[in-house]
Amino acid sequence: MIQTTDRHASSATESSTNGKGKDPVLWNDWHVVAKGVDLQPGTLMKFRLLDTDLVVWRGEDGQVHVWADRCPHRSVRLSNGKVEGNTLVCSYHGMVYNPEGQCIKVPAHPSYPPPKQACVRTFQVRERYNLVYVCLGEPEKDVVAFPEWDESTYRCYLTGPYFIQSNGYRAIENFLDVAHFPFIHGGILGDLDKPEIEDYEVVINEAGVFAKDIRVWQPDPYGTGVGDYVIYDYWAFRPLTAYLRKYSPNGDCLTLLYNVTPISEEECVAWMSGSLNYAHSISDEEVQAFQDKIVLQDLNNLESHFPKKLPLNAPLEFHVPSDRSTLMYRKWLKQLGITYGIL
């Protein structure tokens, strides 16, 4: 697993809970903040989403809660506290908060009824595919589905989190882009001797952006030692959630669901959910190590973008035909009225 937790922690110490730079499209969407397996009953962690500090915790009953990381008494971080049963206890004065975020106990005054305003700001949570999702606003849609997760013919896995000093849209564009394969993933996903990308179709519809039948030459796509073309289909279902399907004539299929969580306008965390209906003899560790390797190869370029924000309204970059999917993605973002992380 590739992590840069020190960078993440230092960023979190400077964040706020006032919804800085609030963008309604992102604010009302679902974002991954933790892997379920990392959040055992009785544990808590801190996270930063859209410049908002959060505390994420799981009670002894198994329920996950995501709150603003601020005690309403004297504004210290609740992430410095502890979970007791199904309550969260502040580290400063021992204030006890129930699962609804209401203060139910003031240790210094056992008979004192806490005021109604002694309530932490709470957010809606969904737990799917071993990931914890949160919405800071009012969700207009459900969490993006990953149908292979429950298919018996597919072997599923989860990698990340990958902390990236990059704008989240840049990370999604990198995921949608196949023309960089020979140069960044040479010998694995591409070949310098065959970098050509033929024209392909991309559309915007009610589900988002869909690019289909993208042919890419790969050195050994089927584990036979023989190079061949493979076909990719891509979807961008949400501004920061994308999905791909890679398949071969013999029926082998790989799918990836890519969730990118915006820490800020220039930092993000990525999570990769994958599925395979082949290669069952390869260990989970090998599959995850391969995915980590591919992400690591992308990091240097992803973190070198300048400007870091996506120049959606500024003519700072030129385009070529193989950019068709990312160009359509940018057009879609513009139609949605996205402003956060945008130039």
Residue 5 is predicted with a pLDDT of: 39
The stretch 305-328 carries a mean pLDDT of 95
Q: What are phi and psi of 10, to 5 degrees?
A: -65, -35
Q: Over 90: is that where the pLDDT of 281 sits? A: no
The stretch 133-157 carries a mean pLDDT of 95
Reduce the DSSP state of residue 259 to 3 states and report it. strand
What is the pLDDT confidence band of residue 225, given thresholds at 50, 70 and 90? confident
Q: Over 50: is that where the pLDDT of 338 sits? A: yes
The stretch 293-297 carries a mean pLDDT of 96
Topology (CATH level 3) of domain 14-135: Rieske Iron-sulfur Protein (2.102.10)
The stretch 163-174 carries a mean pLDDT of 98
Q: Over 90: is that where the pLDDT of 205 sits? A: yes
Residue 223 is predicted with a pLDDT of: 67
Burial of 80 (0-12, 13-18, 19+ CB in 10 A): middle
Q: For 17-49, what is each residue's pLDDT tens digit?
A: 444 457 999 999 999 999 999 999 999 999 999
Q: Over 80: is that where the pLDDT of 11 sits? A: no
Residue 279 is predicted with a pLDDT of: 84
DSSP per-residue letters across 4-30: -HHHHHHHHTT-BSS-TT--HHHHTS-
Q: What are phi and psi of 322, to 5 degrees?
A: -70, -5
Burial of 176 (0-12, 13-18, 19+ CB in 10 A): buried
Tokens of 166: 């990059």
Q: How far are the Cα atoms of 86, 90, 97, 215, 236 from residue 100, in angstroms, in the given order?
A: 10, 15, 8, 51, 34
Q: Over 50: is that where the pLDDT of 6 sits? A: no
Q: How far are the Cα atoms of 31, 40, 48, 106, 147 from residue 34, in angstroms, in the given order?
A: 9, 11, 11, 30, 20
- In contact, 125 and 133? CB cutoff 8 Å: yes
Reduce the DSSP state of residue 308 to 3 states and report it. coil
Between 68 and 279, name the one with better pLDDT. 68
DSSP state at residue 110: T
CATH number of 147-336: 3.90.380.10
Among 254, 197, 200, 191, which Cα is nearest to 228's?
Answer: 191
Per the prediction, the chain carries an average pLDDT of 92
The stretch 182-194 carries a mean pLDDT of 96
Q: Over 80: is that where the pLDDT of 302 sits? A: yes
The stretch 62-76 carries a mean pLDDT of 98
The stretch 66-92 carries a mean pLDDT of 98
Q: Where are the domains of the chain?
A: 14-135, 147-336
**What CA–CA distance (Å, rounded) separates 45 from 58?**
9
**What CA–CA distance (Å, rounded) separates 204 from 255?**
21
DSSP state at residue 115: P
Q: What are phi and psi of 261, to 5 degrees?
A: -105, 125
Share above pLDDT 70 across residues of the chain, in percent, rounded to a whole number: 93
Q: For 229-272, what is each residue's pLDDT tens digit?
A: 999 999 999 999 999 999 887 888 999 999 999 999 999 999 99
Q: Over 90: is that where the pLDDT of 290 sits? A: yes
- Determine how many CB atoms are found less than 10 A away from the CB of residue 209: 24
Q: Over 60: is that where the pLDDT of 10 sits? A: no
- In contact, 236 and 209? CB cutoff 8 Å: yes
Q: Over 90: is that where the pLDDT of 7 sits? A: no
